[in-house]
Amino acid sequence: MKNFEYYAPTKVIFGKDAQMQTGSLIQALNCKKVLVHFGGGSAKKSGLLDNVFASLTAAGIDYVTLGGVVPNPRLSKVYEGIELCKKEKVDFILAVGGGSVIDSAKAIGYGITNDCDVWDLYDGKAQATGCLPIGVILTISAAGSEMSNSSVITKEEGGLKRGCNTDYARCKFAIMNPELTYTLPQYQTESGCTDILMHTMERYFTMERSMEVTDSISEGLMRTVIRNAKILMKEPQNYDARAEIMWAGSLSHNGLTGCGSVGDWACHQLEHELGGMFDVAHGAGLSAVWGSWARYVYKTNAMRFAQFAVNVLGMLNDFSNPEKTALEGINAMEDFYRFIGMPTSIREMGVELTDEQIHELAYKCSFKNTRTIGNFQILNMEDIGKIYSMAR
């Protein structure tokens, strides 16, 4: 087990009607003016925003609003939010939504407190020195951004999707009411479940040994998500299943399942380029490339994949042939993705990749052939292109 630091400072308020505490939570932070940041019309139609506004007003807190965040949140919306916050002298950002809204809120928070173009933070040209305080009312169980240090933004020009990870952007609080996810379309729910699984799997597939405690946490979390994702296919308003998924989403990306290891993150890097170029749903993009990545790298440590197959997916262990067990696990994982309606190839997302597009994706993913990705197996630009080809 490697040395590690574990830092999870976000206060969690979990359960029914938790959103009614919004005003008092911000009041306790001595903030006076809030940007309420959200996505589409669902937060309005459901009455959630009205409840939030009432809570803020009751606490004597002024607010302005900015909606319109879309999946794969756009840099242009971030710039709009930065300008609004500076004009209105906002001192707190409240994200009402899922990972896209939270990531956009973090980027706005960076843009207000750092003396540089905010994109430079995401493009690696500058380092963050602060972030405006942020709180979350979670409406989608997926990204785990409510408890992570990460944020991903898409720059429309060039179709670039890049991340910025610092503890400055960790949320002050996260309000989690599973009932707020009831109205999500099934595809979005299951795409979120896939994202949660992948956040754990990116940390799980490691070359590090002696990971008994962390492995047990990770394996239990993944089994829980798989079981409840299946339940939600038949019972979309099952509160207990929604609650398990919501809590798993936060735990999968707050660092807990990576304590003592070095994560891989190749699949996320592969998906980021697909999301930037084709605007695909993040979870769907991950499931579309995972099987191809797994088959490309599993021989690097077949025993690790065999452990995953046995402890997470319930495969029988063929002790004489770990590669056989590993491949059975990869097949079983893809069967699960199909069961919950997730793609296992890029064309299943309606994208027919040409050879030229594969080259472009690999070129961008390797930062113009200047970096490698992955830790389970180091992947260069040629490897990346081969995985995209396998996945198409």
Confidence at residue 3, expressed as pLDDT on a 0 to 100 scale: 87
Q: ∠ CA(19), CA(20), CA(23), 5° rounding? A: 100
Confidence at residue 199, expressed as pLDDT on a 0 to 100 scale: 95
How far are the Cα atoms of 169, 268, 381 from residue 83, in angstroms, in the given order?
Answer: 19, 30, 38
Tens-digit pLDDT profile for residues 315-344:
999 989 999 999 999 999 999 999 999 999
CB burial of residue 382 (10 Å; 0-12, 13-18, 19+): exposed
Place of tokens 């993913």: 365
| Assigned token pair, 391 | 């996945």
Would you give per-residue pLDDT tens digits along the chain (392 residues)? 888 888 999 999 999 999 999 999 999 999 999 999 999 877 777 789 999 999 999 999 999 999 999 999 999 999 999 999 999 999 999 999 999 999 999 999 999 999 999 999 999 999 999 999 999 999 999 989 999 999 999 999 988 999 999 999 999 999 999 999 998 999 999 999 999 999 999 999 998 887 899 999 999 999 999 999 999 999 999 999 999 999 999 999 999 999 998 999 999 999 999 998 999 999 999 999 999 999 999 999 999 999 999 999 999 999 899 999 999 999 999 999 999 999 999 999 999 999 999 999 999 999 999 999 999 999 999 999 999 999 99
Class of 11-180 in CATH = alpha beta
Residues of the chain with CATH 3.40.50.1970: 11-180
CB burial of residue 212 (10 Å; 0-12, 13-18, 19+): exposed
The DSSP-derived string for 160-186 is EEEEEE-GGG--SEEEE-GGGGTTS-H
Tens-digit pLDDT profile for residues 163-209:
999 999 999 999 999 999 998 999 999 999 999 999 999 999 998 88
Residues of the chain with CATH 1.20.1090.10: 186-391
| Assigned token pair, 231 | 């339940």
pTM: 0.91
Going by CATH, does the domain composed of 186-391 fall within 1.20.1090.10?
A: yes
Closest CA relative to residue 96, chosen from 203, 18, 188, 7: 18
Q: What is the largest CA-CA distance in the chain?
A: 68
d(CA 208, CA 191): 29
